[in-house]
């Protein structure tokens, strides 16, 4: 499948070639909005995004929230599959518009969600499971990083929704304030599966623990203390996110699913539901904001 990458800033073309090779993609080229003259001699680096767009079947878009929408719409109208790199950088209203266009044209959309893949479908052994996630962050964690962590956790829970989510419960202090914050989430599914999550700011060393149970089989996994992919300006330094193991795994899953024409495990409907839930949480925690 012919692929093109679109960035705000320059990226090593060799890194993109490696990613393409590992995912059975044919790299046609890349476009950088802020390209410098040192890259002008490389035939795989295009000076026009339109020139690259007409030659590809899938576009991996690393534009930020200010300029991704118009290009995503243009790619969809050409029938090009699109992968939007960082869900926390987008808005609910724009995703709804893109979804309408995607449905009308019949082109599936996938999303990168910065950070580790918490749970994969093949890790769910039985129909009933319980996931308990505790994520502790130091008080120095900024509001924006904390927000992106919450979006990522919710998106991960929505992603593994095999039978439909029946109920969401939220308990916690206001999300954005100057004091340590604790948010407890509880997702209940139609098949009696339960996901419980606690994300908090603490006055001690940061630690992240993930406990995942499926029937009588126990599964345990540690999360990294800090993920560079949670940083708010990650798309301005794409070489960092392209070095994130979890992000590359998400990109790989999307690539294989569009190649095999299978349903996307994390597509636009999941993204819209994530933001619906996130807005619900914000409204409940900040009813007067």
pLDDT value at residue 125: 54
Q: Which pLDDT band, with edges at 50, 70 and 90, does 250 fall under?
A: confident
From the list 251, 277, 281, the residue with the least C-alpha distance to 266 is 251
Tell me the per-residue pLDDT of 46-76, one tens digit each, with 9 for 90 and over.
999 999 999 999 999 999 888 899 999 999 9
Higher per-residue pLDDT: 190 or 115: 190
pTM of the prediction? 0.86
pLDDT of residue 70: 95
- Per-residue pLDDT at 44 exceeds 80: yes
Task: Please report the domains of the chain, with CATH numbers, ordered by start residue.
Answer: 2-114+234-265 (3.40.50.720), 121-226 (3.30.360.10)
Round the average pLDDT of the chain to a whole number and report it.
82
Which one is predicted more confidently, 7 or 243? 7
What share of the chain in percent tops pLDDT 90? 33
């Amino acid at each position: 499948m012919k692929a093109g990458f679109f960035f705000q800033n320059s990226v090593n073309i060799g890194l993109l070639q490696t990613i393409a090779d590992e995912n059975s993609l044919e790299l046609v080229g890349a476009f950088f909005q802020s390209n410098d003259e040192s890259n002008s001699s490389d035939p795989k680096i295009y000076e026009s995004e339109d020139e690259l767009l007409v030659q590809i079947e899938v576009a991996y878009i690393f534009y930020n929230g200010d300029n991704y929408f118009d290009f995503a719409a243009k790619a969809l109208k050409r029938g090009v599959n699109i992968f939007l790199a960082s869900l926390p950088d987008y808005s609910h209203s724009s995703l709804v518009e893109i979804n309408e266009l995607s449905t009308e044209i019949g082109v599936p959309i996938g999303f990168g969600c910065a950070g580790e893949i918490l749970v994969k479908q093949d890790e769910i052994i039985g129909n009933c499971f319980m996931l308990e996630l505790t994520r502790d962050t130091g008080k120095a964690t900024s509001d924006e990083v904390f927000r992106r962590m919450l979006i990522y956790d919710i998106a991960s829970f929505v992603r593994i929704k095999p039978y439909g989510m029946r109920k969401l419960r939220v308990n916690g202090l206001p999300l954005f304030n100057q004091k340590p914050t604790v948010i407890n989430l509880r997702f209940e599914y139609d098949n009696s599966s339960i996901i419980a999550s606690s994300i908090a700011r603490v006055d001690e060393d940061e630690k992240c623990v993930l406990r995942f149970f499926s029937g009588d089989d126990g599964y345990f996994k540690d999360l990294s203390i800090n993920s560079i992919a949670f940083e708010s300006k990650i798309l301005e330094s794409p070489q960092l996110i392209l070095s994130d193991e979890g992000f590359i795994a998400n990109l790989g899953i999307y690539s294989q699913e569009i190649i095999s024409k299978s349903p996307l495990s994390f597509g636009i409907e999941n993204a819209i539901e994530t933001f619906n839930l996130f807005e619900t949480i914000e409204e409940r925690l900040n009813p007067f904001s």
